[in-house]
Structure 1
Amino acid sequence: MRDVEISKEPVELYKILKFEGLVASGAEAKSAIAEGLVAVNGSIETRKRKKIVSGDIIKFGDETFRIQLSP
């Protein structure tokens, strides 16, 4: 698991996938989420604009991220 720092809360789920380079575009991120390929805190998440905050755990493929608010 790796940590991902965000500068403000909340951040929409699809933006995290895009900014971390897991997908090529926002549209690809939204598609992956809609297809049920992303889990947040252990549950499949299909809401593209799900608000992500510090402490959330995101799993996509073989990647797992813990979200942290940067100081």
Structure 2
Amino acid sequence: MPRSPILDVPIATEPIRLGQFLKLAGLAEDGVHARELVEAGEVLVDGRTETRRGAQLRRGQVVAVGEQRARPTV
């Protein structure tokens, strides 16, 4: 089965916090949902589980939640 395409999400400035990016990219409904996803270990950044909602993302890093993938672009 082919992987889903990566959604490019423009950000105003970098870095951006993971929790903010999850909401901006539509991977989380709101801040509470973003926190729950991160705490449950369901968020991958560049293929590694990220457990810090405040982790700093830079352009080009790929964030995945389930089959959905997105990356910040400037």
**In the comparison of the two structures, how many residue pairs are matched?**
69
RMSD: 1.0
Matches within 5 A, 1:11-50: 11-50=16-55
Counterpart CA distance in 1 for 2:25 and 2:61 is 15
Question: d(CA) in 1 for partners of 2:60 and 2:30?
Answer: 25
Q: Percent identity?
A: 32
- SS of the residue 1:64 aligns to: strand
Gapped regions of structure 1 (runs ≥ 5)? none
Match of 1:59 among 45, 64, 67: 64
With the length of structure 1 as denominator, give the TM-score of the two structures. 0.88
Give secondary structure in 2 for the equivalent of 1:8.
coil
In structure 2, stretches of 5+ residues that fail to align are 1-5
